[in-house]
Amino acid sequence: MSSKYYREALALFHQCSKNEDRVDLANKVFNEACNEALAITKSCPRELEEFLPHVSALTCLTTYFEKLSDDFDDLINDKGTCYLLEKLLRRLPSMIDKEKINNSELIERLHIAYDQLFSCICTNFLTYLQQIGSCHIIVATIEFLHMENVEQFDNEYERLIDGGATPLKYYELPTEWNIKDKLRQITNYFFNEEIADLALLLNDPGTAMVFASILRICGFLYEKKYKKLLKQLFKLTRSTFELTDYVLDKNASYVFEIILQFDSIQRNDILYPLILSKTDEFCLHSIGNYFIQKLLMTTTDISIISQLYQNIITEKFHILIEQCHINMLITFIRVCERFNYKYDDLIKHYRKYLNCKKKNHDFVQRVLQSNMKTNNNEDNSDGQHKTTVSQNQSSIFITKNGSLVLQALLRAKIVDSLTKTSLENLTGEQINSIACDPNGSHLLCQLIKKCTLWFNGKEFRQQFYTKLESYYSKMACDKFGSWVIDTLWTNANIEQKIKIADKMSDEFNILRSNQYGKFITYKMNLNAYCLRPEQWKTNLNLIAKKHMLCDEIEDGITNKNRKKFKKNLST
């Protein structure tokens, strides 16, 4: 089939409004591509790249992967198909994880095709290592053996705000895949005669990534080989000066970040002391700054956290705020809270820096206004959205940086009294101002979905809904405010939903004619409320009872009552 078919299919794909339709179309496209896998892959790699994340059928991806297996070398040497193959390798582990118990035959077919790819990589290792595109294929092939579950976090900011609290998850392959043998085989290529100088390898971006991938997987699955690799790596550095150069190098730093994840003599006796002795240099260096963040998120040694806290927070807090990246502050907030180490003291430092007044009731406003550098050195004046501040202070400046810091504070198991009090003192108009801002909208949605203050504070929730009673319709008609209204509605109890519907029904005609307001009116079935309010309330109660019953059934099953549940079900 011609490439025109796939381009037209992609145009149709972009018009799909439902995810089910996109998944269905993606499955059909890849089923069709299996008929002429090599030709279609070469002529339409970009189109297939867009369809790939939405394919749900492992059967068609397995067949597609098998059809390509005889031409892996040809595909890897082509820039367009190389990236498609890399994405395919990163997509398959999550699907294998779901099917490995129920469909062993399919997994075995994938195993055979993967072994062909691995053999191709080993045969042409030196050639691929010299090209950036094919280096990525080597990395993806290695990481396939122990792929990280990237679905664990919604985005990079969610990972940042988590601050290392949630252990990373990985997809594990069946034992028949002989992972240790493959790691031993691929590792040997780094220490043969032709590429024996590891120092040169670490100065190259592609090869540094390959070595970092091998090191990471050995750290998880092959401890003996990991220790050998570390010994060979640290033979390169004969002085602290040389090691500092490597750690702060944009390529070699990939490798040293991996070392932070696993306990070793080299990490504890060499890397940690290096960072503690040169904290200032690392803090003010873009790579060194990130390196300290990784250290904080991976270490469980409270003495290391204590020394970094002393060097950075106690002595140079203003430098952290003014010259370092916001990620460093967020990481300190999350780590200090997680280990219960001087968390209140850190917030006091921040409050003092922000120059809070009015008995600290303006703390949240000050945080949201904070203007710090981000990791990509963006400045708030260059396109970062802000809400205008009026003379009566009913509106609030909101920066992306400030929103992220406040999210980190709200993610604590017990929200500190300063943040809690300041939140409680926000007026309805100020909350509306935050809700109608792109950064503020996301902040409020995260507060409702993930903050313990919301889950455990019944009075706080009630006050929040009460303050917004006059602003429901206004928020619903705003592009960003409509997200907050949707989240508020989803998480409201029956009494709160009735109040929301009652307030919004007065402006039903305005809402249903607004491009954003019409969606929430449809979700609430507000038209039915306006016509038959009592029947609407009855239906709402029935739906709530069904949800409660489903939850009770689910709890009964998960609490080791399966036999009793089945017996009751049969009678």
**Residue burial 494-514, b: 16+ Cβ < 10 Å; e: rest:** eebbbebbeebbebbeebeeb
Distance, in Å, from the CA atom of 16 to the CA atom of 522, rounded to the nearest integer, reads 20
Give the chain's largest Cα–Cα span: 83
Closest by CA position to 482, among listed 513, 448, 511: 511
In degrees and rounded to multiples of 5, residue 81 shows phi and psi of: -70, -25
Distance, in Å, from the CA atom of 384 to the CA atom of 367, rounded to the nearest integer, reads 16
Closest by CA position to 179, among listed 212, 142, 223, 215: 142
**DSSP 8-class letter at 314:** I
Which runs of consecutive H residues, i.e. helices, occur in 451-532?
452-456, 458-467, 472-476, 481-490, 494-505, 508-512, 517-524, 526-531
Q: Side-chain half-sphere of 96: how many Cα atoms within 13 Å?
A: 25
CB-neighbour burial class of residue 299 (10 A; exposed 0-12, middle 13-18, buried 19+): buried
Closest by CA position to 447, among listed 411, 417, 496, 419: 411
pLDDT of the chain along its 571 residues, tens only?
Answer: 678 888 899 999 999 888 899 999 999 999 999 988 999 999 999 999 999 999 999 999 999 999 999 999 999 998 889 999 999 999 999 888 877 666 788 889 999 999 999 999 999 988 888 887 788 999 999 999 999 988 888 888 888 999 888 888 998 888 889 898 998 888 887 766 455 566 666 777 888 888 899 999 999 989 998 998 888 888 766 655 578 888 998 888 989 999 999 999 999 999 999 999 999 899 889 899 999 999 999 999 999 999 999 999 988 888 888 877 789 999 999 999 999 999 999 999 999 888 877 666 889 999 998 865 544 444 443 334 444 333 345 566 789 999 999 999 999 999 999 999 999 999 999 999 999 999 999 999 999 999 999 988 889 999 999 999 999 999 999 999 999 999 999 999 999 999 999 999 999 999 999 999 999 999 999 999 999 999 999 988 888 777 677 666 656 555 544 444 444 434 3
Distance, in Å, from the CA atom of 196 to the CA atom of 147, rounded to the nearest integer, reads 28
DSSP per-residue string spanning 251-307: TTHHHHHHHTTS--HHIIIIIHHHHHHTHHHHHTSHHHHHHHHHHHHH---HHHHHH
What is the three-class DSSP state of 325? Answer: strand
